[in-house]
Structure 1
């Protein structure tokens, strides 16, 4: 899997490159700013990209705009965005570009190598990987009277893991529940949220994310 990185911090940029190479990824380039990143993207057309939200020259949302640009050039281009902290506006903008091959992680997660690699792999395959803190704040910030308020604690846990991109088997393992129990909770969640229709785990994640963006 060919990866392109955009990160202004030289130590983190080199560290990410080395980490991914050790984990079996092929590095096609590592840029320190958005302009260079876009040039490398057009030259190499990687399979996926890892981008810091804030890049030179203004350190505002250059990385986010670069992520949106490559997804404009290549629809549903897998991209994993890294941020130093949770920003609702940035998370919302990222989700607004679609829910195929999207990831938003806090930089602290990079140190959890297995989780980071799993998230990048999931995104590269067209899945979703949201940082647990992002999901918690999106769910926790819903207004009074919102349908999410009708969910039980267990249903909130299941929804949290669904929004992070876990399939039913993963939820069973993480929560220590049986397959029928997880299916029952998911059915209850979609019933309470007014979401219906058949679909696999990924389509369910898309529906949940679509709901959370509203």
Structure 2
């Protein structure tokens, strides 16, 4: 797997490059701003992009804006965004096209090497990975909507789906069978009014519905 990193903190970018190298992941380029990210992706056509939300010159949203532009230019390009803080609007916007291959992790997660690399591989494989802290803060919202009709167990399953876990992994976390997980997910799809076809796409739509309900 080949990735492009967009990170202006030299120590962090060097650490990421070294870390990924030890895991057999090639870093094709390291850039420090949005234009550099756009150019690097066009030149190297990586398997995934790893980008900070905030990049020079304003350190507001240059990184994620560049990532979103790349997703439009290269539909389905896997993008894993790193952020120092939970920024709900960006988490929702990243998922807005409903196509998967996206992730939003807090930078603290990088220190949990196995979890971080696994998340990057999930995103590169077309999965959706959300930081548990992002999910926790989004769950703090309230309002009457389709998500509120879910049972506590269905909410747990949907939360783990938002973390990027597959059915087998969800079953292990909740100590239930694969059949039970499959049934819960079917109930979630039905209650959220999602189409009966394209199960992989429905998982992304379910997560997006969930995030939008927490606005």
Q: Same fold (TM over 0.5)?
A: yes
Is the CA contact 1:165–1:205 (under 8 Å) kept in the aligned structure 2? no
Match of 1:207 among 177, 180, 205: 205
Greater shift, 164-173 or 33-42, is seen at 33-42
Is the CA contact 2:195–2:202 (under 8 Å) kept in the aligned structure 1? no
Task: Kindly report which structure 2 residues correspond to 1:187-202, keeping only aligned pairs within 5 A, or say none.
Answer: 187-200=186-199, 202=200
Distance 1:68 1:97 in 2: 10
Match of 2:168 in 1: 169
How many residue pairs match? The answer is: 212
| 1:139-179 CA-partner distances (Å, limit 9, x unpaired) | 33141x22222322222111101122211111011111112
Match of 1:151 in 2: 150
State the Cα distance separating 1:97 from its structure 2 match.
3.9
| 1:86-113 CA-partner distances (Å, limit 9, x unpaired) | 1111112211244321111111111111
Distance 1:105 1:127 in 2: 14
Distance 1:47 1:122 in 2: 12
Distance 1:195 1:34 in 2: 35
Distance 1:199 1:58 in 2: 40
Distance 1:157 1:98 in 2: 21
Consecutive aligned runs of 4 or more in structure 1 exceeding 3 Å deviation = none
Is the CA contact 2:161–2:207 (under 8 Å) kept in the aligned structure 1? no
User: How does the TM-score come out when normalised to structure 1?
Assistant: 0.92
Distance 1:193 1:142 in 2: 16
SS in 2 for 1:141: coil
Distance 1:187 1:209 in 2: 14
Is the CA contact 1:103–1:123 (under 8 Å) kept in the aligned structure 2? yes
Is the CA contact 1:50–1:79 (under 8 Å) kept in the aligned structure 2? yes
Distance 1:192 1:73 in 2: 34
Match of 1:178 in 2: 177
Distance 1:76 1:199, change over 3 A: closer
SS in 2 for 1:208: helix
Match of 2:56 in 1: 56
Distance 1:196 1:39, change over 3 A: closer
Structure 2, unmatched stretches of 5+, are: none
User: How does the TM-score come out when normalised to structure 2?
Assistant: 0.91
Distance 1:105 1:69 in 2: 19
Structure 1, unmatched stretches of 5+, are: none
| 1:44-64 CA-partner distances (Å, limit 9, x unpaired) | 111111000000110000001
